[in-house]
């Protein structure tokens, strides 16, 4: 199947999902906790995930799906199209801020990444593309960010990284221009793609980084598991997306 046909369908789905999420601000959310009191899921996460899955299955009957809230197929078994979906990334922000949350879809064909999508839901900006087409913000093609050094840029980070001082993160933080915490992997990836931050490091699930990894690597950024695990096996790990220079410096500091 030609990528344009897949792309056209996914964009329709994501702009519809955005509409559903924004309209839900006028209704009362049903909020539940998952692994801990700050790991939330709402009826909208589930509604949008079902909407994605139903439509993907209808349009691409042979496709397999890995989703945050339900289906958990594995990429390594896939022999056709494979979708990784995150209906609402940054559910805490969705609930508390009604801002700074994203929806994400990654598409693989015979286990090769072909398309990634991150929708900044409140701004209505879709970051999308893939290795063969480049990366776009809606219709505007993005340039690859400058290969900035650690000391010349802001670094996005998940709170536990610094609370627990894992992987020498306090020292790494001190060497940056500053730390930012936006509370959504999708929003953090967008900042790196645009060159606003030089990187982002956090413990992430596969659906938190799959789309961002495809887009970041297309823009010559590196995406690695800093605990040494294989990033190509889609599973939970501590992921660093960064410029090549910043990644080299962070890797040195991790092992210092």
The DSSP H or E segment spanning 88 is: strand 81-89
For residues 146 and 150, give the distance between their C-alpha atoms in angstroms, rounded to a whole number: 12
**According to CB under 8 A, which one of 11, 149, 180, 203 is a site residue for a second copy?**
180
Q: Is 168 in the site for a second copy (CB under 8 A)?
A: no
* Locus of tokens 């080299």: 248
Binding piece for a second copy, criterion CB under 8 A, among 5-13, 47-55, 80-88, 181-189: 181-189
Residue 173 or 231 having the CB closest to a second copy: 173
Pick the closest to residue 242 from 88, 116, 209, 233 (CA basis): 209
Instruction: Specify whether the CB–CB gap between 206 and 235 falls below 8 A.
Output: yes
Q: Is 178 in the site for a second copy (CB under 8 A)?
A: yes
**According to CB under 8 A, which one of 191, 229, 231, 248 is a site residue for a second copy?**
191
Q: Is 130 in the site for a second copy (CB under 8 A)?
A: no
**According to CB under 8 A, which one of 179, 214, 223, 226 is a site residue for a second copy?**
179
Q: Is 163 in the site for a second copy (CB under 8 A)?
A: yes
Q: Is 78 in the site for a second copy (CB under 8 A)?
A: no
For residues 121 and 88, give the distance between their C-alpha atoms in angstroms, rounded to a whole number: 9
Residue 94 or 108 having the CB closest to a second copy: 94
Instruction: Specify whether the CB–CB gap between 109 and 121 falls below 8 A.
Output: no
Name the minimum Å distance from CB 179 to a second copy.
5
Q: Is 96 in the site for a second copy (CB under 8 A)?
A: yes
Provide the β-strand partners of residue 32.
41
For residues 65 and 21, give the distance between their C-alpha atoms in angstroms, rounded to a whole number: 21
CA distances from 224 to 84, 200, 204, 218, 227 (A): 18, 11, 12, 14, 9
Binding string to a second copy for residues 18 to 47, with x set by CB under 8 A, is what? -------------------xx---------
Name the minimum Å distance from CB 167 to a second copy.
15
Helix (H, G, I), strand (E, B) or coil at 70: coil
Helix (H, G, I), strand (E, B) or coil at 72: strand
Q: Rule CB under 8 A: which residues touch a second copy?
A: 37-38, 92-93, 96-99, 151, 153-154, 159, 162-163, 170, 173-174, 177-183, 191, 196-197
């Amino acid at each position: 199947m030609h990528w344009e046909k897949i792309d056209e369908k996914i964009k329709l789905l994501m702009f519809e999902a955005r509409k559903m999420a924004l309209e839900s601000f006028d209704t009362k959310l049903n909020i539940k906790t998952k692994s801990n009191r700050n790991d939330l899921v709402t009826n909208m996460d589930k509604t949008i995930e079902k909407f994605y899955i139903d439509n993907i299955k209808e349009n691409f009957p042979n496709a397999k799906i890995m989703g945050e809230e339900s289906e958990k197929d594995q990429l390594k078994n896939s022999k056709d199209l494979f979708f990784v979906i995150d209906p609402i990334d940054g559910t805490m922000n969705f609930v508390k801020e009604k801002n700074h949350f994203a929806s994400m879809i990654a598409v693989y064909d015979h286990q090769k990444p072909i398309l990634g999508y991150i929708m900044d839901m409140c701004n209505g900006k879709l970051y999308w593309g893939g290795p063969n087409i480049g990366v776009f913000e809606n219709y505007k093609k993005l340039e690859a960010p400058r290969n900035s050094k650690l000391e010349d840029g802001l670094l996005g980070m998940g709170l536990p990284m610094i609370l627990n001082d894992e992987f020498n993160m306090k020292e790494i933080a001190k060497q940056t221009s500053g730390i930012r915490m936006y509370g959504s992997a999708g929003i953090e990836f967008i900042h790196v793609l645009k060159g606003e931050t030089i990187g982002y490091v956090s413990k992430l699930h596969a659906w938190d980084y799959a789309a961002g990894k495809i887009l970041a690597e297309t823009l010559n950024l590196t995406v690695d598991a800093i605990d040494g695990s294989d990033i190509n096996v889609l599973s939970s790990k501590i992921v660093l997306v960064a410029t090549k220079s910043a990644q080299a410096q962070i890797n040195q500091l991790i092992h210092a």
